[in-house]
Amino acid sequence: MKKIDVKKFRNIIANVVICTILVAVFAISYAGGVLNVFSKTDTAPLYNGNLNNKNVTLMINVYWGTEFIEPMLDIMKEYNVKTTFFVGGLWVSKNGDMLKKIVEQGHEIGNHGYYHKDHKQISYERNREEIVVTHELVKEICGVEMNLFAPPSGSFSNDTLAVCENLGYKTIMWTKDTIDWRDKDSDLICARAIKNPKGGDLILMHPTQKTVDALSSIIKFYVENGFKITNVSENIAV
């Protein structure tokens, strides 16, 4: 009897789940139901949270860098910090256990599209597909109903905003960009994250080694200066 290839088996199961979700999404879409599944929200993208509170968010976009997520989680646990991880659907399809771990530790999950597309360059239908398929996949794996969308590379169009409004999503941008995916320098990443701190700041990060190296210093700065580090939903609440 041949030994089962566990990795291959898991990939097959993941593909079956994704195909099932796609079929369900398209069926609902053609029936005119997708646009009514979620509640309505405002159209305009948000570049910061509530300016009247001293809340900041270290929002983390995840499409790669899985090996750095657990060290980030450990640091956040040490400082009792909760934040928002915006996850890509393709990443989720291969890293369901890590997604569950993020949720189990009390962090918020946001939507980062499925294939990391340039949402400004794709149609209304493709914008909707990217968001809805990811939404359903995350819901299937960990039971979370997302309502925040961070466009890959910050690129969006009126179609993107309309899709988010119709799906009950808020489009989330950022106040500060650490550019940690490009600049492998923990001191520079830290400097960008803490420059001119204000309540409502949304600070964009990614899972990289240098981000891990800078994370404790960033957290300490905000805590010592009277800020609360929280997730996006709490930060943007009026």
Query: Residue 193 sits in a domain of what CATH number?
Result: 3.20.20.370
Range of the domain at 100: 6-236
pTM for this structure? 0.84
Query: Domain for residue 85, yes or no?
Result: yes
For residue 109, the surrounding DSSP H or E stretch is: strand 108-111
Query: Domain for residue 180, yes or no?
Result: yes
Query: Domain for residue 209, yes or no?
Result: yes
Cα end-to-end span (Å), the chain: 62
Query: Domain for residue 199, yes or no?
Result: yes
Query: Domain for residue 183, yes or no?
Result: yes
Nearest to 76 by CA among 102, 47, 109: 102
pLDDT tens track of the chain, all 238 residues? 444 454 554 555 555 556 556 555 444 443 334 433 444 446 899 999 999 999 999 999 999 999 999 999 999 999 999 999 999 999 999 999 999 999 999 999 999 999 999 999 999 999 999 999 999 999 999 999 999 999 999 999 999 999 999 999 999 999 999 999 999 999 999 999 999 999 999 999 999 999 999 999 999 999 999 999 999 999 999 8
Q: What length is written for the chain?
A: 238
Query: Domain for residue 77, yes or no?
Result: yes
Query: Domain for residue 1, yes or no?
Result: no
Number of domains making up the chain: 1
Render 144-174 in DSSP notation, one character per residue: ----EE--GGG---HHHHHHHHHHTPEEB--
Query: Domain for residue 175, yes or no?
Result: yes
